[in-house]
Amino acid sequence: MAERSWFYASNGQQQGPIPEAQFRDLIARGSVTPETLVWSEGMSGWQKAGEIPGLMSGASRPPAMPRPGPPPVTAAGGGVSSGSALTIDVGVWELFWRGLVASLASLLVIPGPWIIVWILNWIVPRVRVPGRPNLSFTGQAMTLVPWYFGAIVLGIVAVYYALDNEVQWPNYLLDLVQFLLYWLFIRWLIANLASNGQPLGLSFAGSFWGYLGWNILFGLSILTIIGWAWVVAAWARWLCRNIQGTRRQVVYKGTGLENLWRTLVAAICCAFIIPIPWMYRWMLRWQLSQTELVERT
């Protein structure tokens, strides 16, 4: 058994052969989960790791011996940082042309829900989450249709009423509805994430009033010229903290200063038009790299 080698599926590709000891180390670190497809000599076909007797249960290992010195640094939220940062593998040009198509199609209004799902079906599988291979999105466009077209109808009525009666409150009501739709979208997006074809069972526990409060605080922070960057960092931590349904806690580590200077660099570069796709990918990669999964304490 000690000489046995294993193959496993990761990101839609076959990995291996991996020696038995190294393979069990991957299981212990969460890189191979009970849902991961695996194969070894003597098996009739690929099977989920959790279906092989003794494989997952025998993968546990004792905790590492403490080393001299201070205790390990903890990340926001109280967990020990494991360095399990999110990454994304996306090309500049494929990001550019899809963004361009989505922008043009959105001008037609009606294709909106289908364009949103099209983009999510493309970009979600390119996000790499440690311990969650083959990430995918399972949401359907028809779920968005009532919200989407309901908001459009409400917007038309609000604008007509405001112009006809020369009042502002319909516009404020429309802003409130938009914030509600963004909040519902976040809940819908997180609830429809899957790994290896199996729903992750995630949910977003942040309240609408909390989300509305962050929007108001962000609007006020714009008046300070630079304060918005710290609000964005705190807002991102709040969003991550309210993702529920995972044994590991989602933590955002980016700071206000980092958000500020990167946004300024991106804005200056985007003024030259051509660097826009590169700047967008640069910011997207950095934001994901600041999002980590840490063990709950």
* All domains in the chain, ordered by first residue: 5-59 (3.30.1490), 80-295 (no CATH)
- Is the preceding omega at residue 199 within 30 degrees of 0, hence cis? no
CA-CA distance, 46 to 228, in Å (whole number)? 51
Counting residues of the chain whose pLDDT is more than 90, the rounded percentage is 47
pTM equals 0.71
Sign of CA dihedral 52, 53, 54, 59: positive
Q: What is the mean pLDDT of residues 19-42?
A: 78
CA-CA distance, 287 to 76, in Å (whole number)? 16
- Element spanning 80, H or E: strand 80-85
Helix axis angle for 228-241 and 208-221, nearest 10°, is 170
pLDDT tens column, 240-284? 999 998 888 899 999 999 999 999 999 999 999 899 999 999 999
CB neighbour list of residue 152: distance below 8 Å, 6 or more residues apart: 109
CA-CA distance, 280 to 292, in Å (whole number)? 20
pLDDT tens column, 187-205? 999 999 998 888 889 999 9
- Element spanning 6, H or E: strand 5-10
pLDDT tens column, 93-138? 999 999 999 999 889 989 999 999 999 999 999 999 887 888 999 9
